Amino acid sequence: MPAIFFEGEELDCRPGESVLDALNRHGKEIPSGCRAGVCQACVLLTDEQQVAARHQQGLSAAQRDLNYFLSCQCQPTSAIHVRRPDSGANRVRGKLVNREWLSDQVVRLQLDADMDYRPGQYITLWKDSSTARSYSLASHQTQDKWLELHVKHIPGGAISPWLCNDLKCGDELTLQGPMGSCVYSHTQDRPLLLAAIGTGLAPVLGVLKDALVNGHHGPIYLLVGAARHSGFYYQGALLRLVEEFPQVELQFLVQTWEGKACPGLIEADIYQYCRERFSDLSGYGVYLCGAPTFVQKMRKQAFMAGAAMSDIATDAFLAFGETS
């Protein structure tokens, strides 16, 4: 009988039995619904290099690239290593090599760690055995020497004050991951819409870097929104990037104008701006990152404008006493 290695635990799988049924038989709580590969509730991750196309039917290109598969459709004939998408990978030790304030609220952390990842994914940082928060990766593994995270400082928060003020260069910490499927996965000629608010810029920046590294030559529209001018950071680096890559169009959108000039800055509501500027998103790859309310509203708006749901990648920052 083929073995299933589920998050490090070896379990048996009967002939003709699906991964989902085998895990359920062993008492593992795996969500499921239709069992026909339609609802995608039973999606798992595998470390295998090759995943049969029939086991990924209906999944997005990013999910397929990251080896997501439908456990209800997979009947293994040999040993397979699988895990839940939200379980993370093995924890590794990392070291803080640089910390820099990018604005009054946002700090850039650069970490040295042995971790394979895709730009735009996120990792979890552990302060101790019971306190952890997740942050998205703004770095690119072939362009940047270190893992880069953008951390919003939340006074009184469980972990951001420690990361932004107390952790010293050279100090070690525990990292877990990577996780998430908000990664570049479109053909080089397709138009892309990347929209972010707050530190949602971090995963968007990772996706943008990966698109450019992979030779994306279709138009890329990068929208960065904020309620006030103080909500922006990284403007200089983004403006320099646009100068280097003419296929990238950058727009800063501020809800409340405070009289502070910045190239590419206009006073506009990001939702209304997208409704008017991108009324037809058919054929676009769309990436949305930031607060859950922003991501949910923009996701629905993009879909109503014609973007296929499988072409909309999101990274919503959930709050756990503080916002990641």
- Model pLDDT, residue 178: 87
| Residue 111 contacts residue 150 (beta carbons within 8 Å) | no
Q: Tell me the two tokens of residue 308.
A: 């296929």
Which of 254, 247, 191 lies closest to 223 in space, CA to CA?
254
Question: Cα(84)–Cα(111) distance, rounded to whole angstroms?
Answer: 26
What's the CATH architecture for 3-83?
Roll (3.10)
- Model pLDDT, residue 324: 36
| Residue 121 contacts residue 159 (beta carbons within 8 Å) | no
Q: What is the pLDDT of residues 107-125, one digit of tens each?
A: 999 999 999 899 999 998 9
- Model pLDDT, residue 59: 84
Helix (H/G/I), strand (E/B), else coil: 114:
coil
- Assigned CATH class of 192-316: alpha beta
What phi-psi label fits residue 198: left (phi over 0), alpha (psi between -120 and 50 degrees) or beta? left
Which of 33, 56, 35 lies closest to 44 in space, CA to CA?
56
Q: Tell me the two tokens of residue 15.
A: 């002939």
Q: Which stretches of the chain score pLDDT less than 70?
A: 49, 87-90, 318-324
- Model pLDDT, residue 32: 83
| Residue 53 contacts residue 74 (beta carbons within 8 Å) | no
Domain boundaries, the chain: 3-83, 92-179, 192-316
- Superfamily of structural domain 92-179: Translation factors (2.40.30.10)
Question: Cα(161)–Cα(170) distance, rounded to whole angstroms?
Answer: 17
Which of 148, 162, 155, 246 lies closest to 199 in space, CA to CA?
148
